[in-house]
Amino acid sequence: MPDAQAETVTSRTTRGPHTASGPGAADVAAIAVGGALGTVARYLLSAAFPAGHGFPWAIFAVNVSGSFLLGALMVYLLEIWPPRRFFRPFLAVGLTGGYTTFSTYAGGVMTLLTGGGTALAAAYALSSIVAALVAVWCGVHAARLPARLRERRAGGAE
């Protein structure tokens, strides 16, 4: 019985080479649907927890949780799950890209700066970047944790 990886490679090669110079219409549709869902989720969170002139906690939480999600997704999409054509465009590019937001983050920094909150703007700008990077790292390690636990159990059973 052939293994799953060999079947995946075979199924990719029997479809023929991808001749287009970019993504097809179906890929763009997957990104659009994912982006729409992510954007709506972000909007609902920011509407539920408006920033006013204080620290923009909702967007901070969105960007940090989105970074965690992206870190975990990259492990699942590239290392654990078998390749699926639309998972990466839908989840990583569309959903996570629509959910997280650099423009709203930058707008929040500018709002704080123009409102005289220079220290708060600097704290928001720096803490968002650091927290997002830590969240990606945590997402990657959290996604790999079940595999490490299985390896330890399998190693201890021998």
- Residue 16 belongs to some domain of the structure: no
Structural domain containing residue 142: 25-157
- Residue 94 belongs to some domain of the structure: yes
Total domains, the chain? 1
- Residue 6 belongs to some domain of the structure: no
Write out pLDDT tens, residues 20-55. 567 789 999 999 999 999 999 999 988 888 877 688
CA distance 107 to 121: 10
CA distance 42 to 62: 7
Distances (CA, A) of 111 to 83, 95, 114, 124, 134: 42, 26, 5, 11, 25
- Residue 62 belongs to some domain of the structure: yes
- Residue 11 belongs to some domain of the structure: no
Query: What's the predicted TM-score (pTM) here?
Result: 0.75
CA distance 71 to 132: 10
Write out pLDDT tens, residues 78-108. 988 888 889 999 999 999 999 998 888 998 8
- Residue 10 belongs to some domain of the structure: no
- Residue 144 belongs to some domain of the structure: yes
- Residue 141 belongs to some domain of the structure: yes
